[in-house]
Structure 1
Amino acid sequence: MTIKIGLIGCGGIAEPHLNGYLKVEDARVTAVCDVVADNAKKRAEQAGGAQIFSDIPTLLAEGDIDAVDICLPHHLHKGAIVAAANAGKHILCEKPLCLTLEEAAAVKKAVSENGVTLMCAHNQLFMPPLKLARELIEKDTFGKVYEIRTTDSFYHNFNTSTMGWRAHREFIGGGELIDTGYHPSYMLLYLAGSRPVEVTAMLSQHRLSFMDGEDSAQVLVRFENGAVGNIVTGWAYEPADTTERFSAVAEKGYLSSDGRDLRYKVRGQDPVVINTVKLPSVHTFDAEIADFIACLQEGRRPVHNEDDGIHVLQVILGAYKSAEEKRTVALEEIEF
């Protein structure tokens, strides 16, 4: 059965999503929606001739679609999700899921009451070394995990004329942490496999001073199982070439990855063995789109659904509260 997709938002991030659907045999983008007519026309042509809409209600009422893919600015996610759920459409939504606890409660209510599937577009979960690391941790290869570190930093060429809505807290929801920093945040929770309970954060504005929010962040997260996580993220600088994409240290060894391969060591082996696992390259957007379609066809719950998206949001909101109040925040304070 072919799954028919309505693409909501036809800007830059929509392109890798659309390309992903073009590679899935059982999926087709049949409708696109954007207030910018030229953007909508461009994506409709790339899709091979899709219906074009300029507003979400008309798309949901008249579009020949089974599901929507939301590629809108952050502050518009909640409204689009709730409208789509109330129309009985399944949902893939770019990160972040939404911006506040009140929005999160509305999203969870709409998805639950309408029985639709929601998948958070956490594409980096499909990196092969991350999936292998999770499997090794779950198999107790390293015993008790002590600390985990995830990173995503780069020198961004944003300026006042190109940054657009991301420069404004009311649209982005904060700063870099809730944008690019969302990736290492969900990666950390994925690897920890435990409920986060405390957050301590320091935010910085090293270089992009025209932003309302931070351009860099460091966040510590304590988990229920005792593990401590460290998120390092920024738009202000080029990281040192030795910076790992993620790593973990544990009672029986360690693992680390540059995002392509995985290196790990199990302590006590004689002779000492440091394993380097070479893994195939995967286009994570393509893998994410293919999995979304498979979830709908199989009736399977996505690896990152609305509950997971809310947990990531709680950590980030806790980090903002921690930085503002200069204290460690218990995440029981960030619940609805």
Structure 2
Amino acid sequence: MALEDAFANFTRRDWEDEPVEGTVRLAVIGVGGFARQRALPAIADGRYCESTTLVTSSPERAADVAEEYGISHVIDYDAFLDGDGADAYDAVYVATPNALHGRYAIAAAERGNHVICEKPLETTLERTQEIVDACADAGVTLMPAYRLQTEPTVRRARDLIRDGVIGDVVQVHGGFSHPLLESAGPDTWRLDPELAGGGALVDLGIYPLNTTRFILDAEPTGVYATTHSSGEPFDAVEEHIAFQLEFERGATASCTASLDAHASSQLDLIGTEGKIHIESPFGGVVPQEMVVESGDVRMEYTGPPVDEVCEEFDYFGYCVLTDTDPEPDGEDGLTDLRAIEAAYESAETGRRVGVA
């Protein structure tokens, strides 16, 4: 592939053969900050999904959100589990704390609803497997919300890697940090290990983990990790983590994540014949800035920002409407949980841990 060809029609949706008619009606389960600020606007701006139901602990407090997006059905969690208003939606978007994903995803699947679920799918491998099995048994689509897999810059990077533009990938460097306490108080569920399942790794580190796996089309075989916390309110989960992944074809990925640092994200892939740099890939609205070096040739691409959350929901809706299996699937979620559990074991034991 010539670099000029890689940058041509950069933001194309290579997963969309042709537009289709219809939309997938979504019940949004959990109306927290991300759902309000990112998911609901992205769904409204997209083509293939529409929000028709909100599921929240306090329907009264969500009335303004429902009015803003023209959502007529607002119910609480118990009503959802009881099946109230189930004829108003075709699929669910699960945006609750991590440890509650299984409860609502499985209930939805058993009613025949498709499922798009925030990452990680659950807090343990066993509970993640229960979600995967329930969706498979019901014959419904399950898609973990790995929005980077639908984002144009990441997809173009995968194309370049597949075509050998930078040779064999040898090293990957990925990092994601965010000052959590600036956007959430110390009582946030993200600092509760029972609800979150961990700290910086499950909240932020999962982005370079999953994105690296996707771009390389390879699975980790081992991990070495270290964690650090400075004290309250990070005394129960890791505040910072550094982990190194070993991949089956010899590449290594050095990744970091922090819940208490200046907002930053980056991804670099270094090969035997060149390298790829993606600017700020993990923050939500990617600036579409990429630098590719291949031999003596260096090219830069800068384009209009793309809302990867909108891409994610349109991709999910398109897959449901066309009966297409999404690339991020249950096995994808299981693989990440295996790597996450191995990383925590490594951090606790101080040794390399294999990823089965």
TM superposition outliers: structure 1 runs of 4+ over 6 Å:
none
- Please give the alpha-carbon distance, in whole angstroms, between the structure 2 residues aligned to 1:295 and 1:71: 20
1:285-332, Cα deviation, whole Å (9 max, x unpaired): 111111111111111122211111111121111100110111111112
Provide the residue aligned with 1:74 in structure 2: 98
Number of positions where the alignment pairs a residue of Structure 1 with one of Structure 2:
325
Give a deviation string over 1:177-211, Cα, whole Å, max 9, x none.
11122212211211221121101101111465444
Judged with a 3 Å threshold, the aligned counterparts in structure 2 of structure 1 residues 244 and 37 are, in CA distance, closer, same or farther, namely: closer
Give the partner amino acid of 1:250.
G
User: Does the aligned pair in 1 maintain the 2:199–2:259 contact within 8 Å?
Assistant: no
Q: SS of the residue aligned with 1:226?
A: coil
CA distance in 1 between partners of 2:32 and 2:342 (Å) = 30
Name whichever of 37-46 and 173-182 sits farther off: 37-46
Within the candidate set 257, 270, 277, 2:278 is matched to: 257
Cα 1:34/1:130, change in 2 over 3 Å: same
Residue number in structure 1 paired with 2:327: 303
Instruction: Find the counterpart in structure 1 of residue 152 from structure 2.
Output: 128
Cα pair distance change 1:42/1:265, threshold 3 Å:
same
In the alignment, what sits opposite 2:210? 186
Coordinate RMSD, CA, aligned: 2.0
Q: Within 2, Cα distance between the matches of 1:277 and 1:28?
A: 32
2:114 maps to 1:90: yes
Query: Aligned with 2:328: secondary structure?
Result: coil
Q: Deviation of residue 278 (structure 1)?
A: 1.9
Residue type matched to 2:160 in 1?
L
Could you tell me which residue of structure 2 aligns to residue 34 of structure 1? 56
Look up the SS of the partner of 1:69 in the other structure.
strand
Match of 1:10 among 17, 31, 39: 31
User: Is residue 324 from structure 1 mapped to residue 340 from structure 2 by the alignment?
Assistant: no
Contact 1:144 1:250 in 2 (8 A): yes
Runs of 5+ in structure 2 lacking a partner?
1-21, 281-287
Tell me which of 220, 236, 250 is aligned to 1:212. Answer: 236
TM-score by length of 2: 0.86
1:122-161 → structure 2 map (5 Å cutoff): 122-157=146-181, 161=185
2:67 to 45, 53, 59: 45
Q: What secondary structure is seen at the aligned counterpart in 1 of 2:155?
A: helix
With 110-119 and 176-185 compared, the bigger mean Cα shift is at: 176-185
The counterpart of 2:192, out of the listed 168, 171, 194, is 168
* SS at structure 2 position matched to 1:213: coil
Indicate the residue corresponding to 2:226 in structure 1: 202
**1:21 maps onto 2:43 in alignment:** yes
Q: Deviations over 1:207-248 (max 9, x none)?
A: 654441111111101011111111111122227xxx761011
- Change beyond 3 A, Cα 1:10–1:154: closer
Amino acid at match of 2:32: G
CA distance in 2: counterparts of 1:46 and 1:79, whole angstroms: 28
CA distance in 1, matches of 2:86, 2:293: 56
Cα distance in 2 for residues equivalent to 1:315 and 1:208: 27
> SS where residue 66 of structure 2 aligns?
helix
Q: Give per-residue Cα distances to partners, 1:245-274, cap 9 Å, x unaligned.
A: 10111111111121331111112xxxx321
TM-score (norm 1): 0.90
Amino acid at match of 2:300: T
Change in Cα spacing, 1:39 to 1:122, as seen in structure 2 (3 Å) is farther
For structure 1, the residue ranges without an aligned partner over 5 or more in a row are none
